Amino acid sequence: MRREHVDDLVVVIPGILGSRLAVDGKEVWGTSPGAALRAIRTFAGSIKDLRLPKDIGDGHPGDGVVPTGLLPSLHALPGVWPVVDGYGSLIDWLERTFTLRRALPGDGPDTAVNLVEFAYDWRLSCRYNAHLLSIRVDKALGRWRTRHPDAQVRLICHSMGGLIARYWVECLGGAEVTRLLVTLGTPHRRSIGALASLVNGDRVAGVDLTAFSRSLPSLHQLTPDYACIESPDGLRTTHELSTTLDGVDANLLADARRFHDEIRTAALGRVAAGGSDRLCRPVVGVRQPTPTTAAVVDGRLRLIETIEGKDEGGDGRVPRFAAYPAEVSLDDPAARSSFANHGAIKRHAGVRGDLYDALAPEPGVYRGAEPGHPLGVRVPEFLAPGEPLRIEAEAVTGGRGSDRLAVRAVVEPEDGRAVTRVLRNLGDGRYEATVDGLSPGAYAVSVHASSDQPSDAVTAMTLVLEGDE
């Protein structure tokens, strides 16, 4: 297979939870295939030591935690972020498809490579990690330019990784050497799910993670800046509420607002001064059931999938409108949308096509058409032990025959044999199936109309917890 030639430096930045963490050489957060629950148990056992001190700001707590690489496989941490596919298959695909090479064991520190995996301590402020990104890119680009003097940087960022990259590009001078920043499901206007994690809290393996999650500057930097909380006077932003939400650190929340204001002001100023308004290319998951607003009920947030009565959809975690940076309009053709779920957006065939277009020297001509019957898919993020998995799908366009489809779901564990189900037709383009007897662990649930290709499937992630959860 011929690989497309790329002379630029490509940097891959994962989302929250997507980097392995270690202390004194001992891994405290990381997974191998089949090990999602074991990683959660390991992390829960270290939780007291990993909680951040109050008013950490943009600093490091000095607790010895260091990032050691990207997580290759499925991972999740209830109370922080739901199940996300790993980055191993994305890195492998990039190397197979393009003339990209990452650092290998045995390479010297001065080895020039053009595929960089930027792992970071996802507990910490995005500003802090953006400064580390600046140092990492400066060194890697300097080495690569000894071979390719005109090389620039192309960033591929998932979820929160896009916010780190945006701060480097817009506020730390990264725009001068950046050719393109691709964000996959990045919450540019953030996610109501992050706010719910802070307010509602959670327990894992008998350990309460609530205090830990509430100490994280990064999680606060993912909370919405748009009006998202129901009140008697209509929707309000978090800082417009008359009372403080339980579990939210007011100082961290205020700083999160400043963080995003810095990016927005710098980006709009750069564009006004003649810079490109397409330096950042968002890839947006659409038409999946997505929490968008919330109501406060007995001190907890009850998530709602509409905003002022309108179902905006999104990727299941980030509302569609929240996945666009300030300088890119919702109808800008530079933005790309796919029927993809947040946790699996990196593996979606359409998104891989978008990445091909972003990296190939010539426009892509091999990408197929959109599926004939695109689906919105809903599965629970977490299941209690013994709880059946309910899979719901809905034809999201009113195409002919959308109410008479044969819809197939493949439930694939991290390791082991996949289970296939044909969904029941409920009428009006709605379908459902139930899968019983799933063992504890993480699962990818891929759903597509049988008349479409399996590569058109929408994949969502779920985690079946153990009995002591």
Domain residue ranges of the chain, discontinuous segments joined by +: 9-358, 375-464
Give the residue carrying structure tokens 């990196």.
346
Confidence of residue 366 (pLDDT cuts 50, 70, 90): very low
Helix (H) or strand (E) holding 433: strand 430-435
CB-count exposure of residue 176 (10 Å: 0-12, 13-18, 19+): exposed
Rounded to the nearest integer, the mean pLDDT of the chain is 92
Quick one: tokens of 19? 């980097």
Residue 340 pLDDT > 70: yes
Helix (H) or strand (E) holding 351: helix 349-359
Give the C-alpha separation, 259 to 223, whole Å: 12
Give the C-alpha separation, 189 to 187, whole Å: 5
Angle ∠(186,124,197) on CA atoms, nearest 5: 60
Quick one: tokens of 243? 């009372």
Which range has the top average pLDDT, 47-51, 52-56, 160-164, 436-440? Answer: 160-164
Of 463, 192, 234, which Cα lies nearest the Cα of 319?
Answer: 192
For residues 262, 268, 273, 274, the Cα torsion angle rounded to the nearest 10 degrees is 130
Residues near 439 by Cβ (< 8 Å), separated by ≥ 6? Answer: 413, 416, 464
Confidence of residue 367 (pLDDT cuts 50, 70, 90): very low
Give the C-alpha separation, 283 to 185, whole Å: 6
Name the phi and psi angles at 122, rounded to 5: -75, -5
Sheet holding 26-29: strands in order across?
26-29, 19-23, 65-70
Q: Which CATH number fits domain 375-464: 3.90.1150.10, 3.40.50.2000, 2.30.30.90, 2.60.40.10?
A: 2.60.40.10
Q: Are 14 and 90 in contact, with CB atoms under 8 Å apart?
A: no
Longest dimension (CA), the chain: 62
Residue 280 pLDDT > 50: yes
Model pLDDT, residue 1:
62
Share of the chain above pLDDT 70, in %: 96
Confidence of residue 98 (pLDDT cuts 50, 70, 90): very high
